[in-house]
Structure 1
């Protein structure tokens, strides 16, 4: 990985991946694996409770500068200001919102047929 910092004035063409937050290791910031109620980092071996997982931003973009196309990825807390909160905070909001979504109790297979509708 190139450690030199470069500034690029470009136009964003597309979001490369719709998954822009990920559960991260508290030690090495790598993606962790969440299994049941535990988390495990395959890179450094750190384990913990899944409910205590921290999240980080990972924004992969396709951008254009002049007549050149680039694929860039921006990681970490530098995106906190852009989103207005930390990735962990955003994950909590998204999780709370998804918990409030209600799934209909009836399925399409239990819907009345045309004949049943005509009987009534």
Structure 2
């Protein structure tokens, strides 16, 4: 069965290294907490808010050993007034036997505001 695993983070400025590093930290934790192997990943969508354009955050996944063939796509997040700025969101679709309620979604930095109900489950 396929399941979606959510993740989100923020950066404090539109800078290539920050975007790449924060995305990699986020994806690394998503992978670790959900016991994901690259061969189980169908695809990954990464969106960024309009204020982030210094780098493609998908580039960070290419630094993960074994992820060469995982399809990744970056896109712009909908620009909703009052939404969280400088935000990178990840939707990873994986093959898993986990129940939906057991999937661990990961939020870093100011992105914890997006889903405090999931963060309060123990940091996931």
What band does the TM-score fall into relative to the shorter chain? under 0.3
Which protein has the larger Cα radius of gyration, Structure 1 or Structure 2? 1
What TM-score results when the alignment is normalised by the length of structure 2?
Answer: 0.21
Normalising by the residue count of structure 1, what TM-score does the alignment of the two structures yield? 0.21
Higher RCO, Cα 8 Å, sep 6+? 2
- Return the structure number with greater strand share: 1
